[in-house]
Structure 1
Amino acid sequence: MSLQHGGPFWYTEAQHFRDGEKHRTLLAIVRKACRDQLRGREDSLVDDLSHRSAMEHYLTTYGEPELPPSWLMVESLTLGQLTSLVQNLARISNVKRIARPLGLAAPVLSSWLRTYVRVRNICAHHGRLWNVGLGVYPAIPKPSTIKWLGDTEVLTAVPDRRKRLYPVLASLQSVLVVVSPRSSWAQRLSDLLDKHPDVPLRGMGIPADWRDDTFWASRLTPTAKGQ
């Protein structure tokens, strides 16, 4: 967005957003984050070992513009607020540009973000996640544009599997392949499931042979794949 629209403060301009009220809410959120950062700085001054964050550096070094550049603004948002920002962009072409590096179409990105907000909220409130329908679930991407399950029909092979946790896990791994290629998340997921063998995979919509799919197998150790 910064490259396309004249610099890092594009988000302060209402023309880039569909809903003016939501845009004003975004700016209020960022202003509050700035105030909270400066308020926290007063407490940290007594600790010689504390390190200034990038946000604090900007706020205490530059007098203007009032608000931070967009890459700092984004870091101050919750997942829900970030999702709202993307969904409120006025031009679908901008959403496409955001989605393209992930290999996703704009509607798929929006679907995944909504699903992640739902999952995050369940976890944050200590809700039950493993064996419930989520209410929202990620759209299925075209495998030709993104790293995806080798068995493209596995999500439709069993009724309601698409509405369970498994497609969310697959979508998270697909994103990680792009943004964190060395991530060990898939291995840690495998280890977690092994640690709790009493939790049925079926309740999560996970196939019994899920580790055999090339999508996961390439990220697992030989021991994990052979289990």
Structure 2
Amino acid sequence: MELKKHQVPMTIDEQVENLKELGLVINDEEAVKEFLNDVSYFRLIKAYSIGLKKKNDNYNQGVTFDMIKELYLFNCNFRQALFAQIEKVEINLRCRIANHFSYKYGNFGYEDAANFENEDYHSHFLAEINSEVDRNSKSAFVKNFRNNYETDKIPMYALIELFSFGTLSKFYKNMKQEDKKVVARIYGVKYTYLESWIEHIAFVRNICAHYGRLYNVNLSKTPALYKQYTKQGISSVRVFATLVCLSNILPRDRHWNDFIDLIETLLDKYPNVKMELMGFPTNWKDVLI
């Protein structure tokens, strides 16, 4: 197979001309140039043209730059709203794991491989977290434990604040089964589901943190879903599955309802968004509430 050549870099004026040649409708060239000066051609056009044109072909008839811009802006707003919900999970999961693990195994029980399922996982964890402690050696709380206590080790209840969500997910995954059950019971779910959901949410969290696309994308790290959801045809590869996981972890209170209302407002504000491309069923509000 012959490999493709890299595209020659284009000025913003050339980018606009290229889009016009591909059949994209542009109503205000100056506004388009201004937007492409803020958001790169690659980030915008390559990602949000999917479904609006055939591969290596012209845009479908009637597709406008404003439609692509709308999809991008929806994704930005949706991603920010979702990230705020994920943050709640990340913070309360840290708390609940630290409380249980510290009480049962002591401040430095995380150092003992016998307190975990897999010794290799544990050694990787120690190397990873030691590197993180060194990287944060100048932070106030790390210096406090190193300079003012009889041992320079950092207790579990404080160390966990240095975990990335990915590390937190891996830590939970390697906890003993009986310990995972205790934490999962706080959320009212089986530990096998919580383990899967946390791993998935950590993956989506990284997409959010790096300003990635959640609209019209298949997620490679998928969660296990209850049969009640799969029977409704809800796919685990689309971002609606993330919302389903969150709805079973976070309290379905006023704050959660506000989040649902915000999503509905975004869908109304950006009419070119096709919610089915995110895995949303027609009764999505009923599923989440």
TM-score (norm 2): 0.56
Give how far 1:80 is off.
Answer: 1.3
Q: Could you tell me which runs of 5 or more consecutive residues in structure 1 were left unpaired when the two chains were aligned.
A: 42-51, 143-151, 217-227
Runs of 4+ in 1 over 6 A off after TM superposition: none
| Residue matched to 1:168 | 242
Of residues 251, 271, 279, the one that matches 1:177 is 251
Q: Residue in 2 aligned with 1:58?
A: 145
**2: distance between equivalents of 1:3 and 1:140?**
31
Q: How many residues align?
A: 188
Once the two structures are TM-superposed, the CA of residue 94 in structure 1 deviates from its matched residue by 1.1
The runs of 5 or more residues in structure 2 that have no matched partner are 1-100
Larger displacement relative to structure 2 (116-125 or 99-108): 116-125
Pick aligned residue for 1:77 from 150, 163, 168: 163
Q: CA deviation at 1:107?
A: 0.7
The residue aligned with 1:196 is 270
The residue aligned with 1:86 is: 172
Instruction: Identify which of 83, 95, 119 aligns with 1:20.
Output: 119
Q: TM-score, normalised by structure 1?
A: 0.69
Check whether the contact 1:134–1:165 (CA below 8 A) recurs between aligned residues: yes
1: CA distance, partners of 2:168 / 2:204: 15
Residue 97 of structure 1 is matched in structure 2 by: 182
Query: 3-state DSSP class of the match of 1:67?
Result: coil
Question: How big is the shift at 1:188?
Answer: 3.5
Preserved CA contact (<8 Å) 2:225 2:236: no
Matched, 1:208 2:282: yes
Pairwise CA distance, 1:170: 2.0
| Greater gyration radius | 2
Task: Give the CA RMSD over aligned residues.
Answer: 2.8
What is the CA–CA distance in structure 1 between the aligned matches of 2:237 and 2:113, rounded to whole Å? 36
- Does 1:112 pair with 2:197? yes
8 Å Cα contact 1:104/1:141 also seen in 2 = no
* Identity rate, percent: 28
Displacement of 1:102 in angstroms is: 0.7
**1:79·1:117 contact (CA, 8 Å) conserved in 2?**
yes
CA distance in 2, matches of 1:94, 1:129: 33
Opposite residue 163 of structure 1, the aligned amino acid is V
- State which of 232, 242, 245 in structure 2 corresponds to 1:157: 232
SS of the residue aligned with 1:22?
helix
The answer to whether 1:186 aligns with 2:242 is no
| CA distance in 2 between partners of 1:15 and 1:116 (Å) | 28
